Structure formats: structure tokens, C-alpha cells
Structure 1
Amino acid sequence: MLAPLLALIPALAAPAPQAVEPPAITRRFIPLTAQRRADTAAYAKRHYGRATSEIARPLTIVEHYTVNDSVDATWRTFAPNVADPELHELPGTCAQFAIARNGRIVQFTPVTFLCRHTVGLNWAAIGIEHVGYSEREILSNPAQLRASLRLTRWLRCRYEIPVRDVIGHAESLSSPYHRERVPALRTQTHGDWQPWAMRRYRALVREAGC
């Protein structure tokens, strides 16, 4: 149950931001209609035991890659509030941020909107999408990697998220915050950002500090 878990987390009010300047971020919000918020709350109730469209406090950051060619294509995937093609469930999928190949950071929703991007972790996770088709592609792109590290650093320091809780989608099942009430989905994960890549990425995050 989500409620007992939340009771164990101290100071659920957003912590005081650390002295880290945010990177340049372009806002391009997807439509967050009343219906989408209601569908999100219903989803959270089914999967996490608490009807809400908001994250009480981000506890983890999940890195993804888009398997497409652009931020535009990613926005078009996330904008419609339609059942996803994989799990066939509302609300539509989304992540809070996307990073273009040229390093431009685009924000799709408020940071604490409960986006569907990682089964079992959406109640507590900020999702960052990277335009591209593989970890190697992103790690070898200096502009995109630099922007990714700046965004992750800012979010991590702002919400006091430990480096160990910056994870790849493929690591979702090992997160201490993984919670899933639907039995068929308790082992559901994806292959993006494998542990080998995240070990390298986390080393860079750790080096950046706060």
C-alpha cells in the first residue's frame, strides 16, 4: 500500500532547494485536461493505492531513451490521452522531460505531475527521455549527455535524491521504491538504460555533486 509507505517518509513537503542553477529548459506542456488528471488519479489508485495525479515528493529519477528521432515525435506520443499500445490503459503515457540530440531540454509536465513512464515507480519518479535509440548513442553525444547531467544534477539536488536513486528504466525492479498492486505487472520493466550504462552515468552524476 502506498499510504503506509508515505507515512514512513519524513518531511513530505518539498525540501529547500540546493544552490544549483537550473539548466535552460523550454516548456512545452502536453494537455493536462481535467479528464487526464482524473484518469491519472484512477491509475494511481489502482496501482499504488492512493488516488492522486501528483507526486508528493520525488524520490527517484528514471532515465529513458525514446526510440525515435525527435522531441516533436516524443511530444506527439505523449500529448494524446489515449490508452497505451503496450498495457492498454489510461491515462496516456508521458515523462516530465525530454532531451534533444542537440542538448535542448524540453519540459512536458510540471515536475510533480504523476506521469506514466515506469511501472511501479510513477508515484515517486521523475522521468527523463533522451532522443535516440541506444545508451551508447546518448553517452557518445557530448551535447546531449552534458544537458542530461545538468538536468539530473539540478533535479537530484533540488529534491535531495541520492545518486543511487538515479536509475535506468531497466533497473526499475531493483528500486526500493518499486510498488505495484496489480500482480500481472509486478515484474514489468523495459530494456532501456541497462546497468552497465547507468554505472557510467551515475559515476558522472556523482562527480558533478551538488
Structure 2
Amino acid sequence: MFRAGIQILTILGFISIVSCKSRIIDKPIHFDNQRKELTREYIKDHYGLEVENIKIDPKIIVLHWTAIPTLQGSFNAFNYDTLPAARKDIAKASRLNVSIQFLVDRDGTIYRLMPEDFMARHVIGLNYNAIGIENVGGTPETPLTNDQLKANIWLVNYLNRKYNIEYLIGHYEYTKFEGSDLWKELNDNYRTEKTDPGEEFMRKVREAVKDQNLKSAPAKN
């Protein structure tokens, strides 16, 4: 009976591990040598660092919304190496297109778009320290869903177990890191105003993962 119990627990544990791994679906964006070189240029121009590889040591999880109503439209926004003509707001800072490690569809499906430890361009000043989670939608017609909330909670727990994460923030909170050791932006004129993923969504995620003891963005002086 004792051995049978161990066998059952072992099987259940295996099922749990498989379930966790299968929760993430790989859907890679285009990320060739050109994009890696543009990323290295971005790191040099904005952080003053010359690097051989574009790997990061993540300390922050940043939640976003795409403000695009569909999965395919959201995926397409990240898929090209260089910024589309429509992104004039950030084009002067770099030709490097925006990117993200994870994209969550409105039904809660989680897609990994690029290696988790590659630097993505998704949050000014913090890219070199941050893993980003984008959520499809975020418009009045396509508000974030309860399925997305659950998926974000799962992802935060997954990432916190895997990396030495210290902070969990919404994109709208990124400027609070100015002056901190984690802030790396050299261009004082490169800032954008953000509201994603919404204060209510962040409140619910934080409440659900409070046992992880992740810090909010620091109070800005």
C-alpha cells in the first residue's frame, strides 16, 4: 500500500510537470541575426553596454496589453525585425522592432514568442532586466478577460519559480524605476505614456500572487 501510494504520487507529480510544460505553446517570431544585431545596437545606444550576446538576467515581470483585438494582429506587430512605419513615436530611438517573450490570447492560451532570456524591446529603461507578458486586446471593445487574468497569474508564478524575480509591474509603472539601479536608459528624452494593462487587472494579479512576495514599482522621488 505504501509503495502504491508513492507510485500514485509520482504519477500525479509527473502529470503536473507535463501539464505545466504544455501550458506554454511556442509560436516564435522572426528573430534572425539582423534582429540580434539591432538588439546589440539598442543595448549599446541606450544602456552604454557592448555585449556579445543578448541574454538577460530578469529581475522584473512587466504586464502589457497590445491594444490590438486579435491574436494574429498582435503576433504580426512583433514578427518583423524592424519597426513598421506606423511606429513614429519610438522610431527615432531605434529601428529595432518591439518584441515580447509571452503573448496571452483572450481565451487564456499562452504563446512564447522568443527565448525567455533574450532581451525584448517592450519597456523603456528596463528591457535588460525584464520579461514581458503581452495580452491580446485592451481596447474598450476587447477588454482583458478572466481567462487572461488566470493565465497571467500562472505565468507570474512560473517565471518567479524559474528566475530570480524581484518586481511585478504594469507597463504604466515603468518610469518609477528612474534613478534606481535597475534603470538603464541613457536618453532623458525617450519616454512614452502608458496605461496598460490597467490598474484593476494589476490589482487582481498582485492579490493572487501575494504569497510570492514580489515588490511593486518603487515610489518615485
Output one character per residue of 1:22-70: Cα deviation in whole Å (capped at 9) or x when no partner. 5611111111111110010000111111134523310101000011122
How is 1:179-194 mapped onto 2 (pairs within 5 angstroms)?
179-185=184-190, 187-194=191-198
Give the aligned residue type for 1:131: V
Is contact 1:43-1:51 (8 Å) kept? no
For 2:127, what is the secondary structure of its paired residue? Answer: coil
In the alignment, does 2:90 pair up with 1:87? yes
Question: How many residues of Structure 1 are paired with residues of Structure 2 in the alignment?
Answer: 187
For 1:45, what is the secondary structure of its paired residue? Answer: helix
Distance in 1 separating the partners of 2:206 and 2:41: 34
- Give the alignment's TM-score, normalised by structure 2: 0.76
- 1:91 deviates by 1.0
- 1:100 deviates by 0.5
- Give the alignment's TM-score, normalised by structure 1: 0.80
In the alignment, does 2:107 pair up with 1:108? no
| Larger CA Rg, structure 1 vs 2 | 2
RMSD: 2.5
Greater Cα offset, 190-199 or 58-67: 190-199
Distance in 2 separating the partners of 1:194 and 1:145: 12
Structure 1 gap ranges (5+)? 1-18
Moved over 6 A (4+): none
CA distance 1:161–1:34, change in 2 (3 Å): same
Output one character per residue of 1:89-114: Cα deviation in whole Å (capped at 9) or x when no partner. 22111111000011110011000111
How is 1:1-210 mapped onto 2 (pairs within 5 angstroms)?
21-22=20-21, 24-52=23-51, 54-83=54-83, 85=87, 86-88=89-91, 89-133=94-138, 137-138=143-144, 141-162=145-166, 165-175=167-177, 176=180, 177-185=182-190, 187-207=191-211
Residue number in structure 1 paired with 2:219: none
| Aligned sequence identity (%) | 28
Structure 2 gap ranges (5+)? 1-15, 215-221
CA distance 1:150–1:23, change in 2 (3 Å): farther
Is contact 1:98-1:107 (8 Å) kept? yes
